[in-house]
Amino acid sequence: MRTSPPDDVASADRSGGGPPDARQLRSILIAVSMALMAVIASVSGLNVAQTHIAVDLQTSQTTVLWIINIYTLALSALLLPLGAIGDRLGRRPTLIAGLVIFGLASVVSGLAPTAEVMIAARVAGGVGAAVIMPVTLAVITSTFPEDQRGKAIGVWTGVAGGGGILGMFLSALLVDVADWRWLFVLPTALVVVALAMTLASVPNSRERSAHAYDTVGALVSVVAVAGLIVALQEGPERGWTAPATLIGIAVGLVATAGFVSWELRRKDGALLDVRLFRERGLAGGSATLVAVFGVQSGIFVVLFPFFQAVLDWSALLSAAALMPMAAAMMTASGTAPRLAARIGPRPTMTAGIVSTGGGLALMSLSVSVGGGYLSVLPGIIVMGIGMGLAMVPSTEAITRSLPRERQGVASALNDVTREFGTALGVATLGAILTAGYRDAIDDQLHGVPAATADTAREGIANAVEAAGSAGPDAHHLLDAARQSYVDGWQQAMWVGVAVMVALAAYIALRGPKNTRPAPAPDTAREDGCVAG
């Protein structure tokens, strides 16, 4: 007999019938993984084709950067509001709508005749991605039984972490063998497969809430996230004292304070109850994902110039060099649920964070110009293992901290922390690397013509280009730039190690409790969940 929930509690509304069987669960997991892969692959894919886009669309480098960044900006800013809407409207129709929007935007992007059309299509793609990302994890947490949920989240996390690397490799391959416009074939194909499998297998579930949608909280959250992401994107390019950067920081911080104040005053129906951050799982999981994804994205900022400018590799070979990290990460993500079930989420997260820091330290100690790729490969693999171990229990800690009827918001919060960590890592580690490089190369440019030295100070790629016209100073300039880059790398890596040490200590002391969550309430369990 169904019991009616209190007026202030949301209730589940699912199609009648029994829970999905093993075959349907497998199809559901493949469908949401394909959808997630399409979104993740589009985040970094265009980075390998910046010069091609600028030439083909006859536009500036600044506009190309906006074409790349506007997608991440729209995605990050809309995750929380659209995640909550997905809970209310139904997760299956929301996923279908997101896939359609994203797929159409990808097609338009691939055919865009001008930069303006491309930017508009990328904004639409970001909106579609913001619909897709939270609902994919929410489908897992609301559909999979307790004893299988951890494994499914492990697969989801492995795709989220390793998908960016795989997408980067496939994008570089497409640019090398075809044309940059073919970059959009990959996400479009993934969307078609995901849409077909969603229509066939993914069940519908939605939550009936006694309270109105938190429109004010949603709008303020968009402004807060957008302001901070813009600041983190523009800071490395324009400078941290540039007007655009300072305005972004000011708007982001003021809106964040306003969001927290509004949510604290709203007793019922808040978009995100910020009081929940007092809970160990939510706080520890969020902090871990911000730091781990920040380190991962910062590593990409460091590694690609090392491969291309120091080792003189192509974009395709550089992307392929990161595949061991993706493989290690996905393997560890599959192992993490079993390890967490055996020893607990807190020790598993701590072990992953320590391993991530160990990989950074290993790279910092062993990297050298003469050692080449083999000098960083062990650190890359150790770091990938650590990230896989840390991300899965962190993701599960976040989703378990919010009730079943708020899984779209929980999933969105998980995604926001990833995106914010990515932007923060690129800005922070990139800035440290740049400062370390300039300090080191200043001491090695004695005797080099002033104009050539000024160009070399701008970055390793500029130094390589300047060496082509440096005459007898070319060899000295290249050696100085490459060694200076390694010096800057080491400084950035040790900062990452310090962050991981602090995080490991925090999680060891204040991480998620090693207890099983309470069973779902009867109102959530009594409704079946079948393909709609």
Question: Is the model's pLDDT at 322 over the cut of 60?
Answer: yes
User: How many domains does the chain fold into?
Assistant: 2
Tell me the mean pLDDT in the region 419-424: 83
Cβ–Cβ under 8 Å, residues 18 and 528: yes
What is this structure's pTM? 0.79
Q: Would you place residue 532 in the very low, low, confident or very high pLDDT band (cuts 50, 70, 90)?
A: very low
pLDDT score at 3? 37
Region for 471 from its dihedrals, namely left if φ exceeds 0, alpha if ψ lies in -120 to 50, beta otherwise: left
Tell me the mean pLDDT in the region 354-364: 94
pLDDT tens across 54-64, in order?
888 888 767 88
Is there a single domain that holds both residue 175 and residue 289?
no
Give the pair of three-digit tokens for residue 140: 């897992």
Burial tier of 23 (Cβ tally within 10 Å: 0-12, 13-18, 19+):
exposed
Q: Is residue 345 part of a domain?
A: yes
33: closest CA among 198, 150, 203? 198
Q: Domain containing 461: what range?
A: 274-515
Query: Which residue did the predictor score with more confidence, 517 or 283?
Result: 283
pLDDT score at 515? 55
Among the three residues 158, 180, 202, which one is the final residue of a domain in this structure? 202
Is there a single domain that holds both residue 32 and residue 129?
yes
Among the three residues 181, 202, 223, which one is the final residue of a domain in this structure? 202
Q: Is residue 8 part of a domain?
A: no
191: closest CA among 278, 104, 266, 261? 104
Q: Is residue 171 part of a domain?
A: yes
Helix spans in 144-184 (H): 146-177
Tell me the mean pLDDT in the region 176-184: 85
CA distance 37 to 94: 17
Question: Is the model's pLDDT at 517 over the cut of 50?
Answer: no
pLDDT score at 250? 95
Among the three residues 180, 202, 224, which one is the final residue of a domain in this structure? 202
Q: Would you place residue 470 in the very low, low, confident or very high pLDDT band (cuts 50, 70, 90)?
A: low
Amino acid, single-letter form, for residue 165: I
Please give the mean pLDDT across all residues of the chain.
Answer: 83
Is there a single domain that holds both residue 130 and residue 39?
yes
User: In CATH, what number is assigned to the domain containing residue 126?
Assistant: 1.20.1250.20
Cβ–Cβ under 8 Å, residues 331 and 157: no
Amino acid, single-letter form, for residue 292: V
Q: Is residue 220 part of a domain?
A: no
- At residue 408's C-alpha, the angle toward residues 403 and 410, to 5°, is 60
Helix spans in 306-376 (H): 315-320, 323-343, 345-366
- Tell me what percent of the residues of the chain surpass a pLDDT of 70: 89
| Residue 242 DSSP symbol | S
36: closest CA among 112, 140, 151? 140
Q: Which of 69-83, 187-201, 236-250, 502-516 has the highest mean pLDDT?
A: 187-201
pLDDT tens across 199-216, in order?
988 888 776 666 788 889
Is there a single domain that holds both residue 395 and residue 495?
yes
Tell me the mean pLDDT in the region 263-270: 79
Q: Is residue 4 part of a domain?
A: no
pLDDT score at 18? 58
Cβ–Cβ under 8 Å, residues 414 and 435: no
Q: Which of 96-100, 154-158, 184-188, 487-491 has the highest mean pLDDT?
A: 96-100
pLDDT score at 205? 77
Query: Which residue did the predictor score with more confidence, 53 or 469?
Result: 53
pLDDT score at 447? 67
Q: Is residue 70 part of a domain?
A: yes
Residues facing 206 on adjacent strands: 13
